[in-house]
Amino acid sequence: SADGRWVVAANRESQQIAFEGNTISIIDVNLAAARSPTAEVARVLVGTSDSNVQTRPFIPSFTPDGKFIVVPNFRANNVSIVDLSMALAHQPGAEVARVPLTRPADADGVVRPARPKGSAVTADGRFAVISGGPRTTFAASGTVWIIDLRTRTVAATVTGVGNDPYGLAVVDRGD
């Protein structure tokens, strides 16, 4: 988080059993630094309402004000928006929005799953930027979605962004 108090981990998959994850863990940095076994202060189901469904959350991001966490869910082809205060209070419904992602047809005419992976949030907190797209044998199959965090809808989709993109960064142009 911007204030350095919280870390969010996407629980993407199990190393013990064949199960892709469906939760994020919120970790208190001070408790973790003190080696407390209670450093994980909350765990939130994301991308689904069914704990048996594998959503495979990827790279989460905080909004600049630290109030929300944006989580791309690879298998569920959606993005979760989690209210940090609700999650910390263990309130039901901490996942306050779930935004579905779709892709236009690729160069071969096939419509493939969104497969979102990376996330970043603009400095003003207005938009979340999500990278994704399945790996293909042809170039430029990647997609970037711009999500309006006020309306919690997809505001724009940019196609042809590399192949299987993950990480991204948002730079403030200063204008």
Predicted model pTM:
0.93
Taking the CA atoms of 36, 29, 128 and 140 in sequence, report the sign of the dihedral they define: negative
Please list the pLDDT of the chain residue by residue as tens digits (175 residues): 999 999 999 998 877 777 799 999 999 999 999 999 999 999 999 999 999 999 999 999 999 999 999 999 999 999 999 999 999 999 999 999 999 999 888 778 888 899 999 999 999 999 999 999 877 776 677 899 999 999 999 999 998 888 888 888 888 777 6
How many Å apart are CA 72 and CA 131, to the nearest integer? 9
Taking the CA atoms of 171, 44, 81 and 154 in sequence, report the sign of the dihedral they define: positive
